[in-house]
Amino acid sequence: AVAGRNLLTFKSKTISEFDREEEITREMVKNLELQAIDNIISGQEESGLEFYCAGYSPVYYELNGNRISELIGHRGKSIACELIVTFLPRVVLNSMFAVLEQAGLTPVSVTLEPIAALYAIVPPEIRNLNILLVDIGAGTSDLALTKDGYIYGYGMVPEAGDEITEAISQILLVDFNAAETIKRSLDKKDVLDYEDIWGKKHKINSQNLIEKLSPRIKKLAEAIARTALELGEAPPQAVIGVGGGSLTPHLIKELAVSFGLSQEQVGLRLPQAIKNIKDRTQRLTGPEAVTPIGIALIAANSLGLYFIELEVNHRKFRILDFQQKKDVLGALTVSGVLRKKRLYPRPGMAITCSVNGELKIIKGTLGKAARILRNGNPVGELSEKIENGDRLEFEEARDGENAAKSIGELLNLQPIKIIFNQEAVEILPALLMNERPASLDSGVIDRADIRILPLKIKDALRHKAINLENRFSERQILVNINGSPTILTQANFTLSLNGKEAHLNTEIKQNDNIEFLPEKPTSYKIKDIIDIPETVEKVHINVSGKNIEITVEPVQIFMNGRPARPDEFLLDGADIRVYHLKERAVILSEIFRYIDFDPRDTLGKRMKILVNDTPAGFTTPLVDGSKVRFLFEDRNEEEAKDRKFGTN
Encoded amino acid at 248, one letter:
T
Residue 577 CB coordination number (10 Å): 16
Q: Which residue has the higher pLDDT, 179 or 565?
A: 179
* pLDDT given at position 55: 59
State mean pLDDT over 423-439: 91
Q: What is the pLDDT of residue 298?
A: 83
Three-state SS sequence of 486-525: EEEEEECCEEEECCEECCCCCECCCCCEEEEECCCCECCE
| Predicted local distance difference test score (pLDDT) of residue 588 | 84
- Among 170-174, 261-265, 279-283, the range scoring the smallest mean pLDDT is 279-283
Report helix, strand or coil for 340. coil
Residue 154 pLDDT: 78
> Phi and psi dihedrals of 484, rounded to 5?
-100, 125
Residues 6+ apart with CB under 8 A from 85: 9, 10, 11, 12, 36, 37, 40, 53, 55, 56
Three-class SS state of 137: coil
Among 639, 637, 560, 632, smallest CA distance to 600 is for 632
Q: Does 600 have pLDDT greater than 80?
A: no
Between these two residues, 442 and 321, which has the higher pLDDT value? 442
Q: Are the C-beta atoms of residues 570 and 526 closer than 8 Å to each other?
A: yes
State mean pLDDT over 253-278.
91
* The residue count for the chain: 648
pLDDT score for 267: 94
Residue 176 pLDDT grade (very low, low, confident, very high; cuts 50, 70, 90): very high
| pLDDT(223) > 80 | yes
pLDDT tens readout for residues 177-196 = 999 999 989 888 999 999 99
Q: What is the three-state SS of 110-124? A: ECEHHHHHHHHHCCH
Would you tell me how many other CB atoms lie within 10 Å of the CB of residue 424? 8
Between 588 and 242, where is the model more confident? 242
β-pairing verdict for 586-587 and 621-622 = antiparallel
How does the average pLDDT of the chain come out, rounded?
A: 84
pLDDT reading at 324 higher than 70? no
More confident residue, 570 or 448: 448
Residue 352 — very low, low, confident or very high, per pLDDT cuts 50/70/90? Answer: very high
Cα separation, 33 vs 537, in Å, equals 99
Q: Would you state the pLDDT for residue 252?
A: 93
Region 142-156 average pLDDT: 79
In the predicted structure, residue 248 carries a pLDDT above the cut 60: yes
Q: Is 482 exposed, middle or buried (0-12, 13-18, 19+ CB in 10 A)?
A: exposed
Query: 153: which residues sit within 8 A by CB, 6+ positions away?
Result: 9, 57, 84, 86, 143, 144, 145, 231, 232
Domains along the sequence of the chain with CATH? 1-110 (3.30.1490.110), 116-303 (3.30.420.40), 308-395 (3.10.20.30), 407-523 (no CATH), 537-558+581-642 (3.10.20)
| pLDDT at residue number 461 | 82
* Beta strand spans in 24-74 (E): 51-63, 66-68
pLDDT of the residue at 96 = 82
Q: Would you say residue 326 has pLDDT above 60?
A: yes
Q: Smallest Cα–Cα separation from 550: which of 559, 540, 560?
A: 540
What pLDDT digit, counting tens, does each position of 486-504 carry?
888 777 777 888 988 888 8
Selection from 392, 330, 341 nearest residue 369 by Cα: 341
601 pLDDT above the threshold of 70: no
Average pLDDT over residues 519-532: 76
pLDDT band (50, 70, 90) for residue 375: very high
In tens, the pLDDT along 281-299 reads: 888 888 999 999 998 888 8
